[in-house]
């Protein structure tokens, strides 16, 4: 299958605290702009699959899952706390840019 750019959001909309879920080609994605970075991750907590769109963005550069409070580093994808090292990392997708839009090549 050919890879194609799928636009998700206008760059000008990416302000601090931005967090929005998308579904692209059957993949649940979560676009986040937080702590001076934009990241695209799978909208699924590696602990028990709860959608991370309901999570809380915390400093520095992490998201706390609403279900059991595990914090995931948005830079490394790793879980913090007692379960660190036992959970999968967040699944990250590389961002793609076209014109004034940010998106993903899927």
Interface residues with ligand FES (CB under 6 A) are: 45, 47-48, 50, 65, 67-68, 70
From the CB of 46, what's the least distance to ligand FES, in Å? 8
Distances (CA, A) of 64 to 1, 6, 29, 71, 86: 35, 27, 16, 4, 17
Closer CB to ligand FES, 65 or 102, in the complex: 65
Closer CB to ligand FES, 34 or 44, in the complex: 44
Closer CB to ligand FES, 48 or 89, in the complex: 48
Measure CA 94 to chain center.
10
From the CB of 42, what's the least distance to ligand FES, in Å? 12
Rounded Cα distance, 15 and 38, in Å: 9
Rounded Cα distance, 21 and 103, in Å: 12
């Amino acid at each position: 299958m050919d890879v194609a750019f799928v636009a998700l959001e206008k760059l000008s909309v990416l302000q601090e605290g931005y967090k929005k879920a998308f579904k692209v080609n059957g993949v649940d994605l979560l676009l986040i702009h937080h702590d001076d970075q934009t990241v695209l991750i799978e909208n699924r907590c590696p602990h028990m699959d709860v959608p991370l769109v309901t999570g809380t963005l915390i400093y520095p550069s992490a998201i706390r899952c609403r279900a059991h409070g595990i914090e995931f580093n948005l830079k490394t994808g790793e879980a913090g706390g007692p379960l660190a090292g036992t959970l999968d990392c967040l699944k990250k997708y590389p961002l793609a840019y076209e014109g004034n839009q940010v998106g993903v090549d899927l």
